[in-house]
Structure 1
Amino acid sequence: MTFGFAPPSTSSLANATRGGSRHGRLLEPGEWSAAGIPLLRNPREVVSGLHSRHTPELSTAMIAVLDPEERLVASASFVQRSASADGWEYRNALLAALRRVIPHDLRLRTPVRTAVLMYCREGDERWTEEDGAWMWGLRDACTLHGLRCGAYITLTRTGWQVLGEGRGGRRPSSDSRPERLGDAVAEFAALNLSTAGGAAEALRRTAAR
């Protein structure tokens, strides 16, 4: 599995100089690929559902919890104004969001639910230090909330990308106008996606609320 790398920006170099990544609170692409992150059966369905539900702007993080059948159990979003490339800060923000929307599963011996993170940002699909910090934060937040660590997805002007899997698409993108949840479900049905049933049903229930 390969990643593209974005050239370091002035801000990321400054963060590195100040020790932003010195403590190891980010995951390199190789570490993420080796972590055994479970593959999404239908990433486009998850991406479109989160995009429709949370209408993200730049710097919006969307955390979703999926059951074993990949049905949406809960989700939350927030805008992360500080791009510190420090996974500890991102972990705390993700954990706070999870605690608002769903009880922890720490009593279970083995996690049964999976958390997936989608982050809307500038740039393209290539890995950045900021992505590495979000990956570290997602993995640690999942551990502290009793969840499996799932996919990390970027949403940019060029579309969406599941980092580490090589899967992505042009729509939705950070510039896309969010579809209504009912329209998204209808589109999935029209495309006859083989795994659409579980997440589509979750979207129907959400749209009915």
Structure 2
Amino acid sequence: MTFGFAPPSHSEVPPGLGRSLEPAGWASSGIPLLRGPREVVVGLHARHRPGPATSVVAVLGPDDRIVASASFARPAAGSDGWECRNVLLSQLRRIVPHDLRRRRPARTAVLLTCRDDSPGWTEEDGAWMWGLRDACTLHGLRCGAYITLTRTGWQVLGEDRSGRRPRLGPTDRSVRGDAAPPVSGAPGRAAVR
């Protein structure tokens, strides 16, 4: 006699156990629009000069200005949304204290992902979108935009906003895995508090 549940067969379990979001699901989940996506992308690109296979997580204040950010090398392709969430949580914990005591989130986290392939949505993007949304909930932040940066330019996935510059270029260096030093008074940056 066997007690408990029989493990489901692989055909019954979707890849990533549902820890992935498609652009339509992302767009319908109420992600707030960035007031100036180009300024955010330009600011993050200037701070981190990310290369392929690099991501930059940033926290924006209520005025959509960058409060803190960190760049990191993404794990190998095929990552699950759970792994993506854990990577993002560790980066967020390095750069800002949590906002779990607030009634409503005052700050927003956004993710910029750099890659050498096409600018459209991929399954890996779906895992990172799920991870960003879940990490924001666990850190007390509002979930913000998911942005891809390729050789053709940048694109806010789930929205129809994109641009040709900045873009991933041959001069962009590889990731160091560092948090950007806070700079007071510079446009698009504020001191980390």
Residue 187 of structure 2 is aligned with which of 184, 187, 201?
A: 201
* Contact 1:158-1:173 at 8 Å conserved across structures: yes
Match of 2:37 in 1: 43
TM-score of the aligned structures, taking structure 2 as reference length: 0.81
Question: Aligned pair 1:142/2:125, yes or no?
Answer: no
- CA deviation map 1:161-207 (0-9, x unaligned): 000111111111111646xxxxxxxxxxxxxxxxxxxx96334x67x
What is the CA distance between 1:85 and its match in structure 2?
A: 3.6
What SS is found at the alignment partner of 2:129?
helix
Question: Alpha carbons of 1:44 and 1:136: their partners in 2 closer, same or farther (altered >3 Å)?
Answer: same
* Contact 1:20-1:86 at 8 Å conserved across structures: no
What is the CA distance between 1:43 and its match in structure 2?
A: 0.5
| Higher fraction of helix | 1
* Contact 1:153-1:163 at 8 Å conserved across structures: yes
* Contact 1:114-1:149 at 8 Å conserved across structures: yes
Match of 1:92 in 2: 86
What SS is found at the alignment partner of 1:174?
coil
The 5 Å alignment of 1:18-97 reads 21-97=15-91
RMSD: 2.1
What is the CA distance between 1:21 and its match in structure 2?
A: 2.3
Task: For 1:66 and 1:45, locate their aligned partners in 2 and report how far apart those are by CA, in whole Å.
Answer: 12
User: Identity of counterpart residues, as a percentage?
Assistant: 63
Question: Alpha carbons of 1:52 and 1:176: their partners in 2 closer, same or farther (altered >3 Å)?
Answer: farther
Question: Aligned pair 1:155/2:141, yes or no?
Answer: no
The 5 Å alignment of 1:2-13 reads none
Task: For 1:167 and 1:22, locate their aligned partners in 2 and report how far apart those are by CA, in whole Å.
Answer: 28
Residue 124 of structure 1 is aligned with which of 118, 126, 131?
A: 118
**Number of residue-to-residue matches in the alignment:** 169
TM-score of the aligned structures, taking structure 1 as reference length: 0.75
* Unaligned 5+ runs, structure 2: 1-9, 173-184
* Unaligned 5+ runs, structure 1: 1-15, 179-198
| Structure 1 consecutive aligned stretches of length 4 or more whose deviation exceeds 3 Å | none
What is the CA distance between 1:81 and its match in structure 2?
A: 3.4
